[in-house]
Structure 1
Amino acid sequence: MQKDAYSLILEAIDAGTYKPGDRLVESELAERLGVSRTPVREALQRLETQSMLTRDGRSLIVASLDHNQLAELYAVRTELEGLAARLAARHASDEEQRVLRAMVNEDKALLGGDPRALSRANKRFHKQIHLASHNRFLVQQLDLVHRSMALMANTSFAAEGRDMAGLAEHEAIVDAIEARDGEAAYQALRTHISRAFETRLRIDAGELRTR
């Protein structure tokens, strides 16, 4: 299925092709994506409405999150992700559990490597937990939250040592889901998000080096 201009621009922001503060030019995007300017214009208007883009004079730029917005986003993400883990412990099929375990094992090969690759693996892992919750409304809300996460200029996995700690936290989450322990899964995922937020704050404060 061919992706529309909106999805393609959103993916480019998520991949870091366009970073917070970058200017998006309608004609350049149309040429790059190989589509006409009309769908690009409509996509940009939609992204502006969703606060993914903001105005800088007459130009549209990729939005950025200030400290308060970041804290608000993580507060919502912590609760929703925790709920997804709790529901996954209750509803995940044996096959879904095996996929989560395989993801953790396979991601160990990425330790010490490209932070962007780890970030992509992290997103896949969290998305799998969302789906394993078997709650479509929760999945929709988490999609919105993760879309806004793309407005952060770097990944917490870029911090030295965060990759190993993050993967250990993933392992604890899967352990709890496999044990069908909803409360433990909820707490493990909340802890994981809390530590990621702390790492991000320390990066922003210049306390941690990134790769």
Structure 2
Amino acid sequence: MRVRTRSPEEILEIYEVRISLEATAASAAAQRRSDFDLVRIARAQKAMVATSTSDPSAMAAANLAVHEAIWAASHNGTIVDLLTRLNNHLTRYPATTLAAPGRWAEAIDEHEAIIEAIEQRDADRAHDLARDHMTKARELRLRIYAENTD
């Protein structure tokens, strides 16, 4: 048995896969989503907007709920399983990227754009927006890691 240490390399590995899968999930959601999926995504987004920014754990949970609703709308169980497992790996890095100055509002706006692309069934746009959203999260996660290890 081996204890895994946290590292920037691990962050890069996790996000390399997560960025690709999140983009694929958003694209698939745009192609396969049902009206019920849209309701579920909208409810999660509305709950995120209403979440207090004084509670980083609640912020992270609300954000994850939006992502999980998009994953579910992809109607691809393998993507959902893999993203859930990747998210579990990130729990080893407890600081949320959403607490970074300006990131909460930015993430909400980015979600709105992704949701709009899914509603419009614009798979390419949903893919690109989700990719960019998760790329920003990776860069913040690396910055937080560096700040906490100095």
Same fold (TM over 0.5): yes
Highest CA radius of gyration, 1 or 2?
1
Q: Residue 40 of structure 1 aligns with which residue?
A: none
Q: TM-score, normalized by length of structure 1? A: 0.66
Q: Which has the higher helix share?
A: 2
Q: Residue 155 in 1 paired to residue 118 in 2? A: no
Match of 1:119 among 56, 60, 67: 60
| 5+ long unaligned stretches in structure 1 | 1-47, 55-62
* 8 A Cα contact 1:111 1:164, kept in partner: no
Q: Residue 195 in 1 paired to residue 141 in 2? A: no
Report percent identity of matched pairs. Answer: 34
AA aligned opposite 2:67: H
In structure 1, what is the Cα distance between the partners aligned to 2:52 and 2:45? 11
Q: Residue 103 in 1 paired to residue 44 in 2? A: yes
In structure 1, what is the Cα distance between the partners aligned to 2:93 and 2:56? 14
What's the RMSD between the two structures over aligned residues? 1.7
- The alpha carbon displacement at 1:133 in A equals 0.7
Q: Residue 185 of structure 1 aligns with which residue?
A: 126
Larger CA deviation: 138-147 vs 172-181: 138-147
Larger CA deviation: 196-205 vs 128-137: 196-205
* 8 A Cα contact 2:56 2:98, kept in partner: yes
* 8 A Cα contact 1:156 1:162, kept in partner: yes
AA aligned opposite 1:125: V
* 8 A Cα contact 1:111 1:163, kept in partner: no
* 8 A Cα contact 2:37 2:73, kept in partner: yes
Q: Residue 35 of structure 2 aligns with which residue?
A: 94
AA aligned opposite 1:133: S
In structure 1, what is the Cα distance between the partners aligned to 2:5 and 2:39? 37
Cα 1:64–1:114 shift into 2, 3 Å: farther
Q: How many residues align?
A: 148
Runs of 4+ in 1 over 4 A off after TM superposition: none
Q: Which has the higher strand share?
A: 1
| 5+ long unaligned stretches in structure 2 | none
Q: How does 1:14-29 map to 2 (within 5 A)?
A: none
Q: TM-score, normalized by length of structure 2? A: 0.90
- 1:125-161 deviation line (CA, Å, top 9, x unaligned): 1111111111112222112211111111311012122
Q: Which has the higher contact order (CA 8 A, sep 6+)?
A: 2
- The alpha carbon displacement at 1:105 in A equals 2.3
